[in-house]
Structure 1
Amino acid sequence: MQPQRLLFSCLTLWSLWSAAWTARILLVFPYDFPSQCMLLTPYIRALVERGHELTLIHAFNNCDVVHEVHAIYAKDRQFKINDWFEHEVTPSISKFGQLASLLKYLVKMHLNVLEDPQVQQLMRSGVSYDLFIIEPSYTDALFGLAAHFNATAMGLATCGADWNMDGLVGYKSSSALETISSSISFKPDAGLLDQLYNWMQISEEWLLQQLIFLPQLRSVHTHFFGHLAQSFEQNRQSFSLILLNQHFSLFESRANVPGMVEVGGMHVPKQLPALAPQLARFIAEAEHGVVYISLGNELQSKDLSAKTLQVLLHTFESLPQRVIWRFETEATPNASSNIYFGQWLPQQAILAHPNLRLFINHGGMLSIIEAAHYGKPMLGLPLFFDQARNVERLVLEGTALSLDINALTKHSFDHALRQLLCQPQYRLRAQALSQRVRDVPLHPLDSAIYWTEYVLRYKGAAHMRVSSANIKLTDYYCLDHLLIIFVRFGLIFLLVVYILFKLKSYSHRHIYFGLN
């Protein structure tokens, strides 16, 4: 039997066996980020198709999948979004100003969930769940919901792994291999000065986490979950599984533990939707190919300054390629007929088209994965959080270039576009990367569902978990071994010193008696 047919047969049997039982699952996704909705949508639909009963606590303003399950909308009663973005996307604000606004945002985000009347009613209802799934990035004060509902804790990490994520499954990674935060760049093969800079960045992030972020989140946790037998620290180390939206074929290879599973690409559909006839014709009839630009949802094209907008527009009009531009309002700039504007565009269907030559985007995690999956060269215009790190990965792969959108000029933008469009090595490297990313034994969504149900089948799969709480400090750092080594070498050192002292005393006495 061919390996593919054998794998399909095994998956079919697994599907039939697993579908015979269902679980009650509580999902909590408190960020109003469209990218999380896009990642979560196929995952939720797959769980529903397998018969599981889902309750979703969310903050999405526009996400179709919330209407397909029992959902509780944690309304933004704290006006948290404005607190963060009015500072985060402003280049002139200081780092401490960004830190203060981010901390305020995180606390208010937790309060939006925990003070919501429907959430409060659910907590008082006495119901229990088999599984609790949450976006684990800086949502620590919500982890008490798992213990409150007597559920196994599990995470779905939109931005991949970092130190904070590793600690949730009891794994302590080395700063030589992995950064503490998704928001900072990391160069493991850097020179001495770069290593010193890395160490300063890591130390700063660690201190911020330990002295500012975690104490604030611990206070929120204590207020709402002080009745639990488990402490804040115990709930933070109780995760049985974290699904990571990354994969070693694209991002840095990392030391791993069984409780952390890479499922990067799980949002990529197995079958692409068809393009609208007008859009399909616009792409197919482009003699020199098509450039596609989408700046994401946090900073949209309509929010660009007039100067930046004119730089983009004039440069696009000078290209021989046609341009598809995701523009979020009906009122679009006056432009030539080679530019196609659309508010909602089927991004992956566009990227999959063979006539698509270049993808311009903000460097969001999903866009990076899609650019790699469909083998398209990319121009990154990162702004904040993990975007610079994401774009840097494709720059290192030789499939992308990066520009600062706040310092964009027509010359720099035009030069980068023509370099990516005219030099074939970018396209060839992107195609090679696509082949590598696609070479997996199982679709990432199927892998995510398998491991989710694996944890359910084995009641939390305690055999997968690494709990640092059960490891003594002396054992983790091998202090007992070091003590034995120090004692042995110390005794030898003292013995040598004693012998030398005796020899010196003997020689002095011998010389003294010889002179007399």
Structure 2
Amino acid sequence: MKIHLLLMCVVLLAVKNGESARILAAIPTASYSHQVFFQMLWRELAIRGHDVVVLTTDPTHENLTNFKEIDMSSAYAAMKGAIKDVIALNDNKMKAFARFSSAFLEMSEHELALPQVQELIKDENQKFDLVMLEYLYPSFYAFKHRFNCSFIGVTSLEGTNTAHDVMGNPTHAIMYPTSLLDLDGDKGFKDRLVSFLLNQLIYFTRGKTVNLINELNKKHFGDNYPDIQELAQSVDMLFVNANPMFAEVRPLTPSTISVSGGMHMKPPKDLPVELKKFLDESSQGVVYFSMGSNVKSKDLSNETRNVIMETFSQLPYNVLWKFEADDLPGKPENVKIIKWAPQQDVLRHKNIKLFITQAGMQSLEEALFTHVPLITIPFLGDQDSNAAKVAEKELGLRLNYKTLQVDEFKAAINEVITNPKYKNNITKLALQIQDQPMTPLEKAVWWTEYVLRHKSGQHLKGPKIPTYQYYYLDVLAFLLACLVSVTMSTFYLCRFAYRFAIGLSQRVTIKIKKA
């Protein structure tokens, strides 16, 4: 065993001393869940000796000599109003998508204009071997051209169909619908129609978006940069959080790496003393309630908040509520509020019976790998589709915040806590997903260094063919033309033969009569 450890240390030292690289990572989305998913990866790459620079809205302040963060947290202000708008538009997916797009453009404009980001762009002495950029909205892809290096796209969610199309993976509006839609396994005609139309909307609005981003690049990076679509095609590899719990099972090319399975999960830590005391003394059990980082409990309508408080007051359990204000008027005796919870460690506590969540991807994964059943109350983005998967796989129940009532909410809580199938299902699924030859973090590090070793991943991407070829439209048109041609030829030949036979018969009849 000691020999194996010694050999591992030798290998790690060789990597640090002989193959270290400069890596620029950027996650522009002003959302903690998007940032936290990759924080362990940036840290591990730095520990392995790589020089890592991260553009982030949520700095970790890691104390490593070869690790630097550029703080873009001021971008949250640019996104604050957009979140409320998208929640209000959530029933209209097309308008919600359009608002998301405009918000991302506003956010990118703010981030690229930050002095530290501009300094990075304009400093001619800056060199990088690899850029790792969030492959969700292409405003930062110009960094690939700026540093003329390899490019890995990363996303804390399932990849968009646009991203999969670039990598040569199969895309289909019905088989692999966008995560903006809450479609279950049995998709009715209306679901299929909406998915198709939303895909077409995304396709047809792409041109306008491309022009806006090209203008943004010209403003912040300068002239002589390739079109953003060309930059998108230049990606060498794509890391996706395609967890089969939440995403349709899709065949992937070797250049598309699924890093699902709890890559952001951290080793257990001791809970703060006061919080630990509350959980330890709640022998009857605790319901943990958090709406995540984008949806604030303090911003819920008074009507919804009153329904929640009334329900909690009737429970035989204590409730830990992530609530962003100092005080909650009318708070029931069995409820403890906390502005920010160490969520992974809270969910690991033995007395947690249930997690009520907005169904953000990272929150669901944390519940999955701590075996805590769920009640989901989705608000925006991919939360609807995530909540649909939770209900479909019977990992918990789904509720609608717009129609939430005390009796319904209380019944759902009691059902999930007392019915063992939800706990059993989530435990079983967690064990299935975690049964992998290497951890997601190990996989992400290995493939990152693969791209560094070979300076590319283009050879692993699938073929890119036009839509009409992918769906055999030209072949079907040709076969249809052949069929029509043969049918018409046969028809005219038969008609000619018929007329010839009639004419011949008439001539014979005339000759007989003359005779």
What is the TM-score normalised by the length of structure 1? 0.87
* Aligned position for 1:200: 197
- Equivalent position SS for 1:239: coil
Q: Note closer, same or farther for the CA distance 1:226–1:175 as it changes in structure 2 (3 Å cut).
A: farther
The yes-or-no answer on 1:191 pairing with 2:188 is: yes
State the 1:132 CA deviation.
0.8
| Contact kept? 1:358, 1:376, Cα under 8 Å | yes
Deviations 1:407-443 (A, max 9, x none): 3221221121112122222222222222222222211
Deviations 1:132-169 (A, max 9, x none): 1111112x132121011102111110222121221342
The yes-or-no answer on 1:142 pairing with 2:143 is: no
Distance in structure 2 (CA, Å) of the matches to 1:197 and 1:474: 21
* Aligned position for 2:436: 440
The yes-or-no answer on 1:241 pairing with 2:237 is: yes
Match of 1:48 among 46, 49, 58: 46
- Equivalent position SS for 1:216: helix
Match of 2:498 among 504, 511, 516: 504
| 1:272-287 pair list within 5 angstroms | 272-287=268-283
| Contact kept? 1:378, 1:400, Cα under 8 Å | yes
| Contact kept? 1:87, 1:97, Cα under 8 Å | no
| 1:45-444 pair list within 5 angstroms | 45-60=43-58, 63-65=60-62, 69-74=67-72, 76=74, 80-90=78-88, 98=96, 101-126=99-124, 127-138=126-137, 140-171=138-169, 173-179=171-177, 181-187=178-184, 189-207=186-204, 209-224=205-220, 227-228=223-224, 230-269=226-265, 271-333=267-329, 335-444=331-440
Distance in structure 2 (CA, Å) of the matches to 1:246 and 1:9: 35
- Equivalent position SS for 2:55: strand
CA RMSD of aligned residues (A): 3.3
Gaps of 5+ in 2: 511-515
Q: Note closer, same or farther for the CA distance 1:214–1:186 as it changes in structure 2 (3 Å cut).
A: farther
State the 1:498 CA deviation.
5.3
State the 1:219 CA deviation.
3.2
State the 1:394 CA deviation.
0.8
- Equivalent position SS for 2:427: helix
Distance in structure 2 (CA, Å) of the matches to 1:364 and 1:66: 29
| Contact kept? 1:368, 1:391, Cα under 8 Å | no
What is the TM-score normalised by the length of structure 2? 0.88
Whichever residue aligns with residue 175 of structure 2, its letter is L
Between the two proteins, the alignment pairs up a number of residues equal to 507
State the 1:362 CA deviation.
0.9
Q: Using the TM superposition, name which of 306-315 and 18-27 deviates more.
A: 306-315
Q: Note closer, same or farther for the CA distance 1:112–1:91 as it changes in structure 2 (3 Å cut).
A: closer
Q: Note closer, same or farther for the CA distance 1:230–1:400 as it changes in structure 2 (3 Å cut).
A: same
Q: Using the TM superposition, name which of 455-464 and 308-317 deviates more.
A: 308-317
| Contact kept? 1:324, 1:340, Cα under 8 Å | yes
Distance in structure 2 (CA, Å) of the matches to 1:224 and 1:79: 20
State the 1:475 CA deviation.
5.6
Distance in structure 1 (CA, Å) of the matches to 2:102 and 2:241: 26
State the 1:336 CA deviation.
4.8
Q: Note closer, same or farther for the CA distance 1:226–1:361 as it changes in structure 2 (3 Å cut).
A: same
Percent identity between matched residues is: 24
Q: Note closer, same or farther for the CA distance 1:250–1:16 as it changes in structure 2 (3 Å cut).
A: farther
State the 1:76 CA deviation.
4.0
| 1:479-490 pair list within 5 angstroms | 485=479, 489=483
- Equivalent position SS for 1:161: coil
State the 1:371 CA deviation.
1.6
Q: Note closer, same or farther for the CA distance 1:400–1:212 as it changes in structure 2 (3 Å cut).
A: farther
| Contact kept? 1:22, 1:52, Cα under 8 Å | yes
| Contact kept? 2:174, 2:196, Cα under 8 Å | no
